[in-house]
Structure 1
Amino acid sequence: MPTTETILDTPSPWHAGETLLQRHAGVAERMEMAGRKVIRDYMPDQHREFFAQLPFLVAGAVDAQGDPWAGVLEGYPGFAASPDPRVLRVAAVPDADDPLLAGLGPDRPVGVLGIELHTRRRNRANGRIAAWDGKRFDVAVAQSFGNCPRYIQTRDFHFSRSPALRFAGAPRERDGLDAPARALIARADTLFVASYADAGERAVDVSHRGGKPGFVRVDGNVLTIPDFSGNRYFNTLGNLVLNPRAGLLFIDFERGDVLQLSGRAEVILDSPEIAQFEGAERLWRVHARRVAFRPGALALRWRFDAYSPASLATGQWPAADLREPPEGTDGA
């Protein structure tokens, strides 16, 4: 069992963007100790076994233009494995038309999220690609940590085809969001976000966000997203403070459609809209600049089961936009 002395000897896992938001939330001192305990440079056996039972992973990477992308890697359970505690081996790569592919390759930083929707479990493994042959890759794990189950809607999965059969559809690339893309976002109860920071060595992260349908507002090419109470790590928003670029992923779970976008991001700590949206503690916005829609790209399909109790305790933009701003705030 680690002692207080050995924990304090461990370098802080937080960069300046994360600590800024932790201070703003009044939890910096507590998180300094907690981070040293829970963020490891290896995968515990529980995480190694967890990744091996998953049918998909969400990965985040950064392309040559500096744009982050989030995408799905899928395969029959066992396609991801951990041959030793510091390596995650993934026997899948993105399709040629997936913008995530441009960010992957030898020695490239990558963020990996393992999420099991039917149990609401999720764990992260971030690091660099140590081996790559165009069909599979190894991640040299630099950060491994778990996340709470809040805001994850439960869904059961099945494969509509073999995941070895590559996407054969016609991707649609845009400079902005068209009407079908806005409709998918408006009804979404889940999204994934890739972000990164160049605090020393570049580090990429990919995370999950969830709520009730309507928790993401889309105005033209601008998405506004509430940030609810969470683990106080501020990995995503901390990255956005230092480097205001985000890559979002939306999945049509019934059809296997994938919407990916990348653009400029901003974190909003003071706005009357925060109080108007039930459960929001802050907001963040993404101005979509590059968009890819790939209908039927995934072999996986999911059947909705239930909303997270945490999601049910939060709001939706259609209702929030009708609420009066709290007294003493500028409603403009």
Structure 2
Amino acid sequence: MTYHSGSRAVQDRVGVRDLADHVGRSIGQGIRPVAAAFLELQPMLVIGAADPDTGAVWASLLTGEPGFVRATGPHRISVRGGPREGDPLTAALAIAGTAVGTIELDPRTRRRMRLNGRSTPTARGLAIDADQVFSNCPKYLQRRETYETVERAAVAPRHGSELTSSQREFIESADTFFIATVHAHGADASHRGGNPGFVHVTSPRELNWRDYPGNSMYLTLGNLTADARCGLLFLDWTSGAVLQLTGRARTEFDGEGERTVRFTVEGVVDAPGASPLRWGPPEYSPANPALS
């Protein structure tokens, strides 16, 4: 794994460069058979990219029957279908060569897999040629053992430039969200989790969260150091509502080694019932820190 200057800056500030080099050896370009099998069991995929017209970075949810995502070779996956109508990444995913980051998360097993590369539209959806493939530890993943699929609601998404009171309440009750970031040569998608309340909304256009210790590679924070644009995706696991935010983020370091990410909202897409998946109640990760 070759880190760019943004990740190196964060690794050096935290003092984990050697550990990051060791962990980075787990990142490859190939999709192993166990990873291919994992992909085919999942009913959802989170994908992040930048809008080609505005430059705004968004994270979106793709869903389908298990098998809708599958490996078609050692370096490529195919996705049957695409973003829902009105999704902010529709234009980006219609262009060949778009840099994308993806994360496949299975709440039933607390496993996740990340694959970053370039997407190409196909007759049935899209294909992604992998540049980076890796799995991560199950920290901060909430277990949800069951789900069912219902018909997707045909409700037009609501657009805005700041958060409403109900959206603020929804974010502050979340135990999981996804974050898409970009850098000069690609994109990345990851997740953040914690006990409800770990995300704080301080105004209609500002929110923040504490950055919990992870794999020490600092891909997300490194990307934000190099390019502040990012997209957040919040899911209502029981109703299927999808809340997407785009904006910019910065990381603050305190004197005790803790980090806080502060996000400024620039765009909001609120799509009630956009996901057909309905998940059971969460079992919170034992790794979640207590809220202060």
TM-score bin (small chain): over 0.9
Q: Confirm or deny that 1:181 pairs with 2:171.
A: no
| Distance of aligned partners of 1:307 and 1:194 in 2 relative to their CA distance in 1, 3 Å threshold | same
Aligned residue number for residue 87 of structure 1 = 76
Aligned AA (1:149): P
Q: Secondary structure at the match of 1:181?
A: helix
- State the distance in 1 between where 2:64 and 2:166 align: 28
Q: Secondary structure at the match of 1:49?
A: helix
Asked if structure 2 preserves the Cα contact closer than 8 Å seen for 1:266 and 1:286, the reply is yes
Aligned residue number for residue 55 of structure 1 = 43
Aligned AA (1:16): S
Aligned residue number for residue 260 of structure 1 = 244
Aligned positions, number? 289
- State the distance in 2 between where 1:150 and 1:171 align: 32
Asked if structure 2 preserves the Cα contact closer than 8 Å seen for 1:55 and 1:79, the reply is yes
Aligned residue number for residue 128 of structure 2 = 139
Q: Confirm or deny that 1:110 pairs with 2:100.
A: yes
Deviation string, structure 1 residues 13-72 (Cα, Å, up to 9, x no partner): 21111111111111102322431x201011111111111110111111110211111111
Cα deviation, residue 170, structure 1: 1.9
- State the distance in 2 between where 1:103 and 1:188 align: 28
Structural mapping, 1:1-332, within 5 Å: 12-35=1-24, 37-64=25-52, 65-105=54-94, 106-129=96-119, 131-133=120-122, 135-162=124-151, 167-198=153-184, 201=185, 203-220=186-203, 221-270=205-254, 281-311=258-288, 313-315=289-291, 320=292
Higher RCO (CA < 8 A, seq sep 6+): 2
| Distance of aligned partners of 1:244 and 1:87 in 2 relative to their CA distance in 1, 3 Å threshold | same
- State the distance in 2 between where 1:74 and 1:214 align: 27
- State the distance in 2 between where 1:88 and 1:102 align: 20
Aligned AA (1:178): T
Cα deviation, residue 135, structure 1: 4.0
- State the distance in 2 between where 1:297 and 1:159 align: 14
More helix by share: 1
For structure 2, the residue ranges without an aligned partner over 5 or more in a row are: none
- State the distance in 1 between where 2:3 and 2:266 align: 29
Aligned residue number for residue 323 of structure 1 = none
Cα deviation, residue 191, structure 1: 0.5
- State the distance in 2 between where 1:191 and 1:15 align: 25
Cα deviation, residue 134, structure 1: 6.2
Asked if structure 1 preserves the Cα contact closer than 8 Å seen for 2:150 and 2:278, the reply is no
Q: Secondary structure at the match of 1:306?
A: coil
TM-score by length of 2: 0.95
| Distance of aligned partners of 1:46 and 1:244 in 2 relative to their CA distance in 1, 3 Å threshold | same
- State the distance in 1 between where 2:131 and 2:240 align: 31
- State the distance in 2 between where 1:261 and 1:169 align: 18
Cα deviation, residue 175, structure 1: 0.9
Look at both structures and tell me which one has the larger radius of gyration over its CA atoms: 1
